[in-house]
Chains A and B, each alone.
Chain A
Amino acid sequence: QQQVKQSPQSLIVQKGGISIINCAYENTAFDYFPWYQQFPGKGPALLIAIRPDVSEKKEGRFTISFNKSAKQFSLHIMDSQPGDSATYFCAASMINQGAQKLVFGQGTRLTINP
């Protein structure tokens, strides 16, 4: 119940295309869903996050879509650029229960071809 399942494991997109990464969870107590971006040799960095009271959140080229009934959320990267090539992790936590520890998905290695 604590798992967050992420797909695909790897993704190759042409420059200017849309990158889409999907995640699913089981525990309905999760109430905070962030996406992290990690470059080689670096720690993960928060990209964008959403709470379950909204269905979509957009920040620049990055959009989270959230489907509470399906217990799924996804990251869309519009106009993908070579600099977006990195590993992306979805995560979930239970903020309202005071548990800020994150459960991470398996990660998606994104490659943007120029």
Chain B
Amino acid sequence: SAVISQKPSRDICQRGTSLTIQCQVDSQVTMMFWYRQQPGQSLTLIATANQGSEATYESGFVIDKFPISRPNLTFSTLTVSNMSPEDSSIYLCSGTVLTEAFFGQGTRLTVV
């Protein structure tokens, strides 16, 4: 199993600014992912965080808006850049061990 810690757990940010979310895993995971979840809604995959190389983004998400780093097997960051109120959401980090995916508790972002 894996325990995933995210920080911050929540933040309120001004539009036009950027926020970096950190994700730390307590053990090595095969893959790491970043998801977005609107309150009361499903999870949408933003990107796969690749160790030591550029992340792989899903349709509708771009690197300039959501730059991702993964410098090692247990740590990743997601930056939400040039924020607008539409970016208000919950951002979740996930890591997989074999077939099982583990999730952090999420970062609740509000952009005002």
Contact = CB atoms under 8 A, between A and B. Distances in A.
Interface of A: 32, 34, 41-46, 49, 89, 95, 100-107, 109
30 contacts: A34-B101, A42-B105, A43-B94, A43-B103, A43-B104, A43-B105, A44-B43, A44-B92, A44-B103, A45-B103, A46-B100, A46-B101, A46-B102, A49-B99, A89-B42, A89-B43, A100-B30, A100-B31, A100-B99, A101-B48, A102-B33, A102-B43, A102-B45, A104-B42, A104-B43, A104-B44, A105-B42, A107-B40, A107-B41, A109-B40
Interface of B, secondary structure class, is: strand
A107 B39 CA distance: 12
A106 B43 CA distance: 8
Given A44-B43, A89-B43, A107-B42, 16 more contacts: A41-B106, A42-B105, A43-B94, A43-B103, A43-B105, A43-B106, A46-B100, A49-B100, A100-B31, A100-B101, A101-B31, A101-B33, A102-B43, A102-B94, A104-B43, A106-B42
Nearest to A95: B99
Given A89-B43, A104-B43, A106-B42, A43 B92 contact: yes
Interface of B: 4, 30-31, 33, 40-45, 48, 92, 94, 96, 99-106
A27 B48 CA distance: 20
Contacts of A106: 41-42
B99, B101, B102, most chain A CB atoms within 10 A: B101
Contacts of A46: 100-102
Nearest to A51: B99
Contacts of A104: 42-44
Nearest to B4: A43
B30 to A, nearest CB: 7
Contact of A101 (B45, B99, B105): B45
Contacts of B100: 34, 46, 49
Query: Which 10 pairs from chain A and chain B are nearest by CB?
Result: A43-B103, A104-B43, A100-B96, A104-B42, A106-B42, A43-B105, A44-B103, A107-B42, A100-B31, A43-B104
